[in-house]
Amino acid sequence: MGSSQSFNLYNKNNNYPFLLSTLLNSFKAYCIDPTPKAYFFLIKNLTQNSNFQDIVHVLNHIELNEKFETPEFMLMYLIRFYGFADRVQDAVDLFYRIPRFRCTPTVCSLNLLISLLCRNRDCLKMVPQILLKSRLMNIRVEESTFRVLIKALCRIKRVDYALRIVNFMIEDGYGLDVKACSLIVSSLCEQIDLSSVEALVVWRDMRKLGFCPDVMDYTNMIKFLVKQGSGKDALNILNQMKENGVKPDIVCYTIVLSGIVAERDHVKLDELFDEMIVFGLVPDVYTYNVYINGLCKQNKIDEAREIVASMEELGSKANVVTYNTLLGAVCSAGDLNKARVLMKEMRLKGIGLNLHTYRIMLDGFIRKGEINEACSLLEEMLEKCFHPRTSTFDDIIFQMCQKGLFTEALVLMKKLVAKSFAPGARAWEALLLNSGPELQYSEATYDSLIIPEITQLSKLTES
């Protein structure tokens, strides 16, 4: 008889599942009693095959017929199995039954069960009852239990409740759990629906409890505040950091600098950059890029160029972000000559142009009416499978038609559509309005060039 059928066979005399009967008969043949290890081996076999009903029979037999003290790890194994099999109630019931197996439950079982319940929001409501019941089972709640609860609350974004548990821990005579506080800060900074004011209230409350943040805690808080557009608050946290004897690293300064740039506090930008240098911190390319961006926003393009030169002298190579920042500034200022020089520098240094580079330069050429250079750059862009913005391409087609370059515009349109790019309505309008009789296009020629593109555009729009 196959082994798969054997699992469901029951001994006619004792009504036990086949494997349990086999275990009992094997030990009986040697006139000895089954050991906890033997039962554990049997339970592991049954869980691997998800034989839930057979597990019930084994547990009932151990409870009613055996005399040994059941090891807690064996029952914890089953609690974990039930939890991950989405049989939460079975896990809870087994936890309550632990004393009936002549086993003294400990905080280990409690923590395991709570962690399983905290995986599901619907099961969280069972936790208070479990905690109350655990007291009747003489299980003493420890710091580890609080940490499990705090971790669960942070995972579901209930930082306020997590902070209350920290308060309860202190009221119950436990020391401040630094790891729990760091976890709260980390979770706090991941929330997208929390304002900087609310975050600062939580931060202040934890500091009042005696929490001493480390570099990572400060960094997380600074990063969150900058992301929320509160660069000045981030600067205040940086100052707190220094006052409390924690040395900020280059990452902290870079993040705060980006917040200051976003708020256009140009005075603070220069002060902070100089302070960082005085403290002996070596800026990396990310720091330089932030500072260069700040200088460009002040239209201090020449100073920004000098920073690029000095950073390379100090061994920090400029990258495409560095040059895109400079290109954006000079193109906005309408200085295409400097833009051409910068692009030449990029090519000489082996810095590849990315999509953003091409878009910056295209917009600059179009703004100045340099349509030939724009078309040349667009051709290069297409070879690299980069697509322009729809509005940018429409502007190019419009200007080409305005300059009488209808044939060239039509050829360019065909290339773009062939690369699955959907031009805008303005480009089509420009072509249609400029396809008059003076261009001497026959109807057949017009149909062969325009209609396929319109058909292709329709397909792209539908997809």
What pLDDT is recorded for position 70? 95
Cα distance between residue 351 and residue 312, in whole Å: 14
Q: Are 324 and 285 in contact (CB under 8 A)?
A: no
Q: 430 and 410 in contact (C-beta within 8 Å)?
A: no
Q: What's the distance, Cα to Cα, between the start and end of the chain in Å?
A: 57
Confidence of residue 1 (pLDDT cuts 50, 70, 90): very low
The per-residue pLDDT for 455 is 55
pLDDT at residue 268 above 70? yes
User: Mapping DSSP to helix (H, G, I), strand (E, B) and coil, where does residue 30 land?
Assistant: coil
**423 pLDDT exceeds 50?**
yes
- Given pLDDT bands bounded at 50, 70 and 90, which one contains residue 435? low
Q: What is the pLDDT of residues 79-109, one digit of tens each?
A: 999 999 999 999 999 999 999 999 999 999 9
pLDDT digits (tens, 9 = 90+) for 323-369: 999 999 999 999 999 999 999 999 999 999 999 999 999 999 999 98
Q: What are the tens digits of pLDDT across the range 145-202?
A: 888 888 888 877 777 788 888 888 877 777 777 888 888 888 888 877 788 998 898 8
Residue 116 lies in a domain: no
The whole-number pLDDT of residue 449 equals 46
Tens of pLDDT, residue by residue over 114-133, are: 999 988 778 888 988 998 99
For 36-90, how does the pLDDT look when each residue is reduced to its tens digit (9 = 90+)? 999 999 999 999 988 898 999 999 999 999 999 999 999 999 999 999 999 999 9
Indicate the range of 174-188, 224-238, 293-307 predicted with least confidence.
Answer: 174-188
Contact yes or no for 294/304 (Cβ under 8 A): no
Q: Is residue 430 part of a domain?
A: yes
Round to whole Å and give the CA distance between 415 and 49.
60
Q: What is the mean pLDDT of the chain?
A: 86
Q: Which of 192, 212, 232 is the last residue of a domain?
A: 212
Contact 295, 324 (CB under 8 A): no
**How many whole angstroms separate alpha carbon 249 and alpha carbon 233?**
18
- Contact criterion met (CB below 8 Å) for 214 and 181: no
Domain boundary, last residue among 165, 185, 212: 212
Give the Cα separation of 215 and 208 in Å (integer). Answer: 18
Amino acid code (one letter) for 406: F
* Cα–Cα distance measured from residue 307 to residue 398, given in angstroms and rounded to the nearest whole number: 39
Domain assignment of residue 403, yes or no: yes
Instruction: Give residue 443's pLDDT.
Output: 45
192 part of a folded domain: yes
| Angle (nearest 5°) at CA 38 between 37 and 39 | 90
- Answer yes or no: are the C-beta atoms of 175 and 212 closer than 8 Å: no
Query: Longest Cα pair distance anywhere in the chain, in angstroms?
Result: 111
Counted residue by residue, the chain has a size of: 463
| SS3 category, 17 | strand
Angle 277-282-285 from CA coordinates, rounded to 5°: 115
Tell me, yes or no, whether 30 lies in a domain: no
Which residues constitute the domain of residue 434?
379-463
Q: Is residue 123 part of a domain?
A: no
Question: What is the SS3 assignment for 10?
Answer: strand
- CA atoms of 244 and 19, how far apart (whole Å): 65
Number of domains in the chain: 2
**Placement of tokens 């729809």 in the chain:** 390
Distance separating alpha carbons of residues 276 and 250, to the nearest angstrom: 8
Q: Which residue has the tokens 């906890």?
A: 36
Residue 295: inside a domain: no
Q: Note the pLDDT of residue 441.
A: 40
In this predicted structure, what is the pLDDT of residue 456?
A: 52
Domain boundary among 182, 212, 242: 212
What per-residue confidence (pLDDT) applies to 158? Answer: 78
List, for residues 269-293, the tens digit of each pLDDT value.
999 999 999 999 999 999 999 999 9
Q: Which residues pair with 10 in a beta bridge?
A: 17
Contact of 343 with 376, CB cutoff 8 Å? no
In a domain, 401, yes or no: yes
Q: What is the pLDDT at residue 413?
A: 85
pTM of the model: 0.70
